[in-house]
Amino acid sequence: MSHTETEIPTPKTNPTQEPEVLKAERSNLGMLRPDHNKSVIIDWLTTVDHKKIGIMYGAIALFFLLVGGLEALIIRTQLAVPENDLISAQRYNQLFTMHGTTMIFLAVMPLNAAFFNFLVPLQIGARDVAFPRINSLSLWTFVAGAIVINFGWLLQALEVMGLFEAKGATAGMTDLVPAGGWFGYAPLTSTDFSGAGTDFWIMGLQILGIASLSASMNFIVTIINMRAPGMKMMRLPVFTWMTLVTSLLIVFAFPAITVALGQLMFDRVWNTNFFNVAGGGQPILWQHLFWIFGHPEVYILVLPAMGMISEVLPTFSKKPLFGYSIVVFSGAVIGFLGFAVWSHHMFTTGLGKVATAAFSLLTMAIAVPTGVKIFNWVGTLWGGRVRFSAPMIFALGFVWMFMMGGFSGIMHAAAPADAQQQDSYFVIAHFHYVIMGGIFLALVSGIYYWMPKVFGKMWVGNLSTWVAVLVVVGLNVTFFPMHFLGLLGMPRRTHTYLEGFGWETYNMVCTIGAYVLAVGILLLLVDMVRCIRKGTPAGNDPWNARTLEWSTTSPPQAYNFAKTPVIPARDALWEHKYGPENRRITYEEDHGHGVHMPSQSWMPLIASIGFIPLGLGMSMMQAGVPFMGYVAIFGLVVVCVGLALWALEGPGGYHLHPEEG
Amino acid sequence: MSNTADHADSHSSLVVDNKKLLMWLFLGSDCMFFGTLISTHLIYRKLYPDSFEPTTLFSLELTSFSTFILLMSSFLMALAVSAMHKGQLKSFRRNTLGVIFFGLIFLGCQVYEFAHFVHEDLTLQTNTFGSTFYMMTGTHGVHVAIGIFWLICMYFYSHTGKMDAHESAVDVEVAGLYWHFVDIVWIVIFTAVYLVEFIPEI
Ligand code: HEM
Ligand SMILES: [Cu+2]
């Protein structure tokens, strides 16, 4: 290994000179692999490129952000005035359930996954993730789960038009969309109280779980095994660190909900007694199992956001992150403690004094590493040369808004206080501050920061200022009054309320805020489209950034790095640009070997598509739709055939020879 | 499998092979999975101590026998892995067949046990004991069945001549990790669900 070159090798982009034409090879099964395909659609459907997969995750997540947002607007419109009858109570239940489920599982988690996919291999100097085909499976399985969980809307529309009626085990039930809340408490989800909607919810979440688990395991292996030479763990960018912690949380937290959903399915399909009170089942068991998953889940949502902020703040303060190792360590502590606080969602169920006190203390304890991070971020700003570019504005918004959510969190960490706040709008205010004010702002900051890398285009104009104003004003106007509503006793999840409790004005204000917020989000999308359409070339490093992904081209070539970088320090690119001679990034000589690329494949797509009939068949069987058992079996067969062919076709692969300029 | 991918993942600090690490992570996740199933069973067992008397139904002889068989299958699995590492294809096949055979005996015992219990009126629906017991042991049985299927595939694959020494040794080792894990889970179930029921009341 000779590390001679110190110039960053950028591949020549010479449009006049066509690169050598690569031909697809045959797989071990004798079929032509879909490599180098002329059709753009086939290319994207079969891609194993983490960057394309990331872009698709992002696009689909943004679509579901709009769907979830639309659901929220309908909810807020219904609540704008007392005794409104815009929608029925049943439709209201469906809307808040699907709003929560969509936002958490179909918008925020996949948007995080989009960033994991695009950034992690670039940040660690890898060619791709460890298992490119599993990565493709994760994406398409996520799409399958999203379809299954939303399929109820179609069935419900048919029911409203009088074209469908539930028979079988849930005969006469008219709720065909999930309606038990995002945490689906037993026994509301039993066949006595809910129809096919719950079945779609169970199957959809199970399929999404498969997607999340496979993606997480893939990322852990990638981060541990695929780092470029010299990229020691304590040199990893913080975003990559938080990806690692988040993935570990998913690996260890999801099994609890997988089992719980399985038990619920058994209860519904085979009349078992897990949560069935008549047979001795205990609904409280569901709450425990759900929140053992559910609390880690909120950290699964927020840790990537914290990682993004830890990248943006140093770049725009022109300073290294204050206390890198402490930020990493507190992230890990949060992940660990996250498993020990689930019962703070159950203070009012009568856990007993000792348990309540213990969970109360642990919940307060988890605020400590969270607070430590906030101090680190403030410390990063302190004395820095702050540039108020768009990513920075949103990052600063995150620190402030997230803190507000943390404060109300601490408030109901005290069990006696929580007895007043539980199931009221106060809790809604809390988690919307952490999720919208926190995670969402961080994601927008990430979008503004990394879009130039993703598409190679720089933002035009300063629409971002308007987005920032509208979003921050909108979310405060929407969610701040909810604190008061909660303390005034307005319960969450009621489809309407009477006049005279003093809730009218607050509700009206919340609704107006929601529309402001919606305009802000639409403007964000407009800005993104403008950037892609009209943006000027961004260059490798438009922000004068610190981490490795900015050392390659924007957008990065399929192979990421023409030569494997050798990393001498943390903040590798920054040190390369401004550090001493011995901290330069060097590049491994490849001796004409070229870059090994993985082959594209149909198999992950085929296996994932099988999950759709499997999920839909299992769900609609209960509602007495004919032949659904066969449809489910067909789906299972497709999944198995896809996986078998996958194993047999072999990984393949070909070599690219990037020319250097 | 094919060795084209060899140098794909070459750079970096490879400590554990990618596939092995992936399997370890899966097993970590599966630990939580079985942990949840087993605790559900134990919680309900403790909650309703008198609703059902499993000792009247459990046959310690039969289950001890099947447990022993599963343990021995793990032993053969270890031999198969080591044979593959040494490139002894014949010995690998023999041992793998042994694992498959023992696994099938275990499954047979489980099927017999289930049929017997159902005959004695313990079904999924009877009470919480039935629900948790069948779901937990059934899930374990499915794991065993998947393992058997996997090994059968490997057995046939070894006849195609496409196995290459290094890569296939890793693949077999990964299957071995899975098999040993499924075995260990059974030891836990056997202890926590069967054996403790026979501790005489003091
Ligand atoms: C300072 C750290 C935090 C503390 C002490 C805390 C505490 C709590 C407590 C005690 C509850 C239960 C309230 C109740 O139902 O009565 C709660 C609910 C909730 N928290 Fe937090 N929290 C914190 C941070 C977060 C973060 C970072 C997120 C999300 C990323 C989050 C999301 C949620 C959600 C979604 C709920 C409501 C779940 C539901 O009932 O539907 N929290 N929090
Ligand atoms: Cu929580």
DSSP conformation class of A263: H
| A191 at interface of B, judged by CB pairs closer than 8 A | no
Chain A residues with CB-CB distance to B49 below 8 A: none
Instruction: Answer yes or no: do A252 and B5 touch at CB < 8 A.
Output: no
Ligand 1: does its nearest atom lie under 6 Å from the Cβ of A413?
yes
Residue in A251, A253, A281 closest to B128 by CB: A281
Ligand 1 atom with minimal separation from the A402 CA: 27
pLDDT reading at A7 higher than 60: no
Tell me what pLDDT residue A660 has: 52
Instruction: Answer yes or no: do A598 and B5 touch at CB < 8 A.
Output: yes
Average pLDDT over residues A173-201: 94
Do the Cβ atoms of A155 and A196 come closer than 8 Å? yes
pLDDT reading at A620 higher than 90: yes
Q: Kindly indicate the confidence band of residue A657, based on its pLDDT and cuts at 50, 70 and 90.
A: confident
Q: Which of A351, A369, A371 is nearest to A360 (CA)?
A: A351
pLDDT reading at A137 higher than 80: yes
Is residue A456 included in any domain, yes or no?
yes
Is residue A427 included in any domain, yes or no?
yes
Give the H/E segment covering residue B121: none
Decide which of A174 and B24 is more confident: B24
Tell me what pLDDT residue A12 has: 47
Average pLDDT over residues A444-448: 98
Question: Which residues line ion ligand 2, judged by CB < 5 Å?
Answer: A 295
Residue in A213, A217, A256 closest to B36 by CB: A256
SS (H, E, C) A41-64: HHHHHCCCCHHHHHHHHHHHHHHH
d(CA A65, CA A112): 13
Residue in B7, B14, B135 closest to A266 by CB: B135
pLDDT reading at A532 higher than 80: yes
| A88 at interface of B, judged by CB pairs closer than 8 A | no
Structure-block tokens of residue A582? 């011995």
Chain A residues with CB-CB distance to B36 below 8 A: 255-256, 259-260, 289, 292
Q: Tell me how far CA of residue A32 lies from CA of A48, A136, A255, in angstroms.
A: 16, 18, 38
Tell me what pLDDT residue B161 has: 80
Do the Cβ atoms of A250 and A104 come closer than 8 Å? no
Q: Kindly indicate the confidence band of residue A10, based on its pLDDT and cuts at 50, 70 and 90.
A: low
Average pLDDT over residues A618-627: 91
Counting other chains too, the contacts that A519-523 makes at CB distance below 8 Å and 24 or more residues apart are: A519/A470, A519/A474, A520/A466, A520/A467, A520/A469, A520/A470, A520/A471, A520/A474, A521/A65, A521/A66, A521/A69, A521/A471, A523/A463, A523/A466, A523/A467, A523/A470
Ligand 1: does its nearest atom lie under 6 Å from the Cβ of A249?
no
d(CA A87, CA A80): 12
Poorest-pLDDT segment among A208-222, A314-328, A587-601, B116-130: A587-601
Average pLDDT over residues A21-37: 81
Bridge partners, A458 (sequence order):
A536
Is residue A89 included in any domain, yes or no?
no
Q: Which residue has the least CA distance to atom 29 on ligand 1?
A: A298
List A residues 228-267 in contact with B (Cβ-Cβ < 8 A). 228-229, 231, 251-256, 258-260, 262-263, 266
Do the Cβ atoms of B102 and B79 come closer than 8 Å? no
Which residue in chain B has the smallest CA separation from A247? B25
| B150 at interface of A, judged by CB pairs closer than 8 A | no
Chain B residues with CB-CB distance to A646 below 8 A: none
Poorest-pLDDT segment among A67-76, A120-129, A159-168, A321-330: A159-168
Ligand 1: does its nearest atom lie under 6 Å from the Cβ of A386?
no
pLDDT reading at A661 higher than 70: no
Whole-number Å distance, alpha carbon A346 to ligand 2 midpoint, is 10
Tell me what pLDDT residue A607 has: 97
Tell me what pLDDT residue B4 has: 35
d(CA A259, CA A285): 12
Segments of chain B with pLDDT less than 70: 1-14, 202
Centre a 10 Å sphere on the Cβ of residue B10 and count the other Cβ atoms it contains. 11
d(CA A125, CA A581): 20
Domain ranges for chain B, please list them: 18-49+59-198
Do the Cβ atoms of A107 and A63 come closer than 8 Å? no
Phi, psi of A297 (to 5 degrees): -55, -40
Give the model confidence (pLDDT) of A391-434 as tens digits.
999 999 999 999 999 999 999 999 999 999 999 999 999 999 99
Give the model confidence (pLDDT) of A255-288 as tens digits.
999 999 999 999 999 999 999 999 999 999 999 9
Tell me what pLDDT residue A21 has: 62
Structure-block tokens of residue A335? 């992940």
Is the ipTM above a cut-off of 0.90? Answer: yes
CB pairs under 8 A between A and B: 134
List B residues 45-84 in contact with A (Cβ-Cβ < 8 A). 47-48, 51
pLDDT reading at A47 higher than 90: yes
d(CA A329, CA A324): 9
d(CA A61, CA A55): 10
Tell me what pLDDT residue A659 has: 67
Instruction: Answer yes or no: do B12 and A271 touch at CB < 8 A.
Output: no
Average pLDDT over residues A537-542: 95
Ligand 1: does its nearest atom lie under 6 Å from the Cβ of A108?
no
| B123 at interface of A, judged by CB pairs closer than 8 A | no
| Torsion sign across C-alpha atoms A200, A201, A206, A207 | positive
Tell me what pLDDT residue B168 has: 86
Q: Which of A344, A326, A343, A346 is nearest to A334 (CA)?
A: A326
Output the pTM of the full model: 0.94
List A residues 537-576 in contact with B (Cβ-Cβ < 8 A). 564
Give the model confidence (pLDDT) of A338-381 as tens digits.
999 999 999 999 999 999 999 999 999 999 999 999 999 999 99
Homologous superfamily (CATH) of B18-49+59-198 is Cytochrome c oxidase, subunit III, four-helix bundle (1.20.120.80)
Is residue A189 included in any domain, yes or no?
no
Is residue A163 included in any domain, yes or no?
no
Burial class of A332 by CB neighbour count within 10 A (0 to 12, 13 to 18, 19+): middle
Instruction: Answer yes or no: do A285 and B1 touch at CB < 8 A.
Output: no
Number of domains making up chain A = 1
The mean of the pLDDT values for chain A is 93
Is residue A107 included in any domain, yes or no?
no
Residue matched to tokens 């007694």: A273
Residues of the domain holding A426: 386-543
Is residue A294 included in any domain, yes or no?
no
Phi, psi of A565 (to 5 degrees): -75, 150
Whole-number Å distance, alpha carbon A255 to ligand 2 midpoint, is 18
Is residue A420 included in any domain, yes or no?
yes
Centre a 10 Å sphere on the Cβ of residue A660 and count the other Cβ atoms it contains. 14
Whole-number Å distance, alpha carbon A294 to ligand 2 midpoint, is 7
Instruction: Answer yes or no: do A224 and B15 touch at CB < 8 A.
Output: yes
Do the Cβ atoms of A355 and A343 come closer than 8 Å? yes
